[in-house]
A and B are shown apart, each in its own frame.
Chain A
Amino acid sequence: MDFDYFSYLFFGGLTRGSIYALIALGYTMVYGIIQLINFAHGEIYMIGAFTGLIIASVLTMMGLPSLAVIIIAAAAAIIYASAYGFTIEKIAYKPLRDANAPRLSALISAIGMSLFLQNYVLLAQTSDFLPFPSLIPDFEFWEPYSHIWTSAELVIFITTVIVMILLTFLIKFTKIGKAMRATSQDKTMASLLGINVNRVITFTFVVGSATAAIGGILIASHIGQINFYMGFIAGIKAFVAAVLGGIGSIPGAVIGALILGWTESFFTGYISSDYEDVFAFLFLVGILILRPSGILGKSETQKV
């Protein structure tokens, strides 16, 4: 077996997995708190990438240095994606929650939102693929390894790890993190203890959207092109990752994403790339049938 090819696939899978993990976090956090599959999450990732691209191109044309461009574009993408996450929650989910609508309604509303956002970007921007400037520079010291693990992929991996650490810190040690955990366990009890449940839910949407936006910029500058449809498949795959790891569990989402990234990478590398997406879907169907609670998820028993 060719070792270089193997490690190339291995690191490719790791990169894919990192991106899936960044998106899957948003899914799993929202699901953990309000048991809703936020279908529009993939679209937030797409909007993050678009905002990043637009701001970056404008700044580059103004002649700013590339480091400033990266920082401002990334910040803008994160802010805008969070703002979109916040607004979507207020428009499409909060009224339903207030009215105690069935879960099916919330899901339909989420699909509608996803369709709306996709076409909003399609109409306001373009249906073509837009080339994305590669914001991540090639490091010179990394030169000897770049044929198996490019420096862009390295940056993606490191960023993901940093985001994970920050997120873990946020949830484990801060007050709002504690409130999030309490809300996901029992909403009524949490509100009785003085937690503003609505604010916690909004905060969760904002944080999830921000991580998705980070994923969006990273993958866009790695692959080099974006279009309005990129959020859908990425969203579904991230969802597969979240379910695989056990939806609602944050370390589970990361593990699930890495497993999915690797299996996809090896599958396409050694077997066939035609059925790449089929494979992800089959994976999903398989997990849900064999182990619906995922790897790290707790199996729920229904109480009457």
Chain B
Amino acid sequence: MTATGEIKKSVLVSLWFMFLTFPIMVIRVNTVQDVVEWRWLNMAYIGIGTFFISMLWRYMIRRKEREGKKEKTDNLSFAQKIILDKKIFIPLVALTGLFIIVFPHMFSMYQTNIMISALIYVMLGLGLNIVIGLAGLLDLGYVAFFAVGAYSYALLNLHYGLVFWLALPLGGFLALIFGVILGYPVLRLRGDYLAIVTLGFGEIIRLVLENWNEFSFGPSGIPNIPKPPLFGVDLSLSGSIIYLYYIIVGLVIFTIFVINRLENSRIGRAWIALKDDEIACQAMGIDKARTKLRAFGLGAMWAGMAGVIFAAKTTFINPASFTIWESVIILCTVVLGGMGSITGVISGALLLILLPEYLRAFSEFRMIIFGAVLVLMMVFRPGGIINNVRKTYKFQKT
């Protein structure tokens, strides 16, 4: 394709988008004062922006096509090479570990707080990764289990004075029960129906929490949830935050350990096989329903535990924290990082949660960027930034 042809195409695209965005980007009507605001500058931005984006878009599509045609050799990406090379990977992990341990002492309480929320998302991402990345079930109501965990700690503490350390496993367990109860009838459905039903379920939980005032105190939420105690020692505010930070770090490490073990176990391999081909899987004697249910339940359990920590961290919860878009953000972290890959999901979650925190100027564009990320990742790099390295066995003719 010639250069002029390319430019002509891009000009057409940019004209099309200028037409397309005209009423919404350019005109703003103030219906109270009956004034129309014309924002022609926006149109110029759109025109110039889409011109370059369309050039880039076509270039990326062509590059992807070329890559697809190439014979699949051992061309691992840079990140994958690092993960597979033990000499680099182990010191890297050690360094990260050290950084994580000294983090709360090096930075302010505010930073530590942000890190705690990011780590909660890491945990949620890893839990959802079991469901989506390994078992291939699209769960759009994941935040419901998060809510179950958070509310079970808040309510049990309020009514029975249950302490954090008992609530943590109990919250996970309750979420697991919910997951199994929901999963049992629903998992027979095909993939895309499952997405909608889980979405519906997530909204049901939120709406019930919002409307059932006697049970959940409605939209006003539950305040004064205690932070976790440390063997009866009274901690200062900063002390308790640092303590919570170490708890969540420990839990994330535990999660990574469990998922890593699960992935290579019999059940983990069954999940991956189910994701690739259900029929072949059943023919090999894998109980489809039960295997899926396990993935669903386990994923829910992690969300439940993350929910307990969330409640302890914010000390106040209300249904507004558990909307469907929260599920979509978690989905976004998994998709961006790379479905099925543990390092991928962790980096995806840290990127997506920390970047908007530090780039305050862009915070209003957060959700629109998340949306774009989901689409762009699916179009150009469905494997995520760090592709999962699957164990392969190569047959060599001797």
Contacts and interface: CB of A to CB of B under 8 A. Distances in A.
Contact of B375 (A50, A112, A123): A112
Contact of A236 (B64, B185, B192, B199): B199
A118 B27 CA distance: 17
Nearest to A131: B31
Interface in B143-190: 185-186, 189-190
15 contacts: A47-B24, A54-B23, A55-B23, A80-B23, A106-B378, A111-B328, A111-B331, A112-B370, A112-B374, A116-B371, A116-B372, A130-B29, A281-B203, A284-B200, A292-B193
Given A57-B36, A61-B34, A124-B24, A115 B279 contact: no
Interface in A97-132: 99, 101, 103-109, 111-121, 123-126, 130-131
Given A123-B364, A239-B196, A288-B186, A101 B382 contact: yes
Q: Which interface residue of B19, B29, B191 has the most chain A CB atoms within 10 A?
A: B29
Give 6 nearest A-B pairs by CB, closest first: A112-B374, A116-B371, A115-B371, A281-B200, A119-B368, A109-B378
B20 interface: yes
Q: Which interface residue of B19, B34, B42, B382 has the most chain A CB atoms within 10 A?
A: B382
B56 interface: no
A64 interface: no
B88 interface: no
Nearest to B327: A111
Interface of B: 16-17, 19-21, 23-25, 27-29, 31, 34, 36, 42, 61, 64, 68, 132, 136, 138, 140, 185-186, 189-193, 195-197, 199-201, 203-204, 207-208, 211, 279, 324-325, 328, 331-332, 335, 364-365, 367-368, 370-376, 378-379, 382
Nearest to B182: A285
Given A80-B20, A288-B189, A96 B29 contact: no
Q: Which interface residue of B21, B186, B196, B197 has the most chain A CB atoms within 10 A?
A: B196
A107 B24 contact: no
B196 A108 contact: no
**Interface footprint category on A:** 35 or more
Given A37-B192, A99-B68, A123-B364, A112 B373 contact: yes
Contacts of A288: 186, 189, 193, 196-197
B365 A83 contact: no
Contacts of B200: 236, 281-282, 284-285
B55 to A, nearest CB: 15
A171 interface: no
Interface in A232-264: 232, 236, 239, 243
B99 to A, nearest CB: 32
Contacts of A271: none
A138 B192 CA distance: 43
B189 A278 contact: no
Contacts of A61: 34, 36
A154 interface: no
Interface of A: 35-37, 47, 50-51, 53-55, 57-58, 61, 76, 80, 83-84, 87, 91-92, 95-96, 99, 101, 103-109, 111-121, 123-126, 130-131, 232, 236, 239, 243, 274-275, 277-278, 281-282, 284-285, 288-289, 292, 302, 304
B136 A104 contact: yes
Contacts of B27: 54, 58
B325 A112 contact: no
Contacts of B28: 124-126
B24 A112 contact: no
Given A54-B27, A96-B379, A111 B374 contact: yes
B375 A109 contact: yes
Contacts of A282: 200, 204
Q: Which interface residue of B28, B186, B325, B371 has the most chain A CB atoms within 10 A?
A: B371
Contacts of B42: 124
Contacts of B328: 111, 115
Contacts of B199: 236
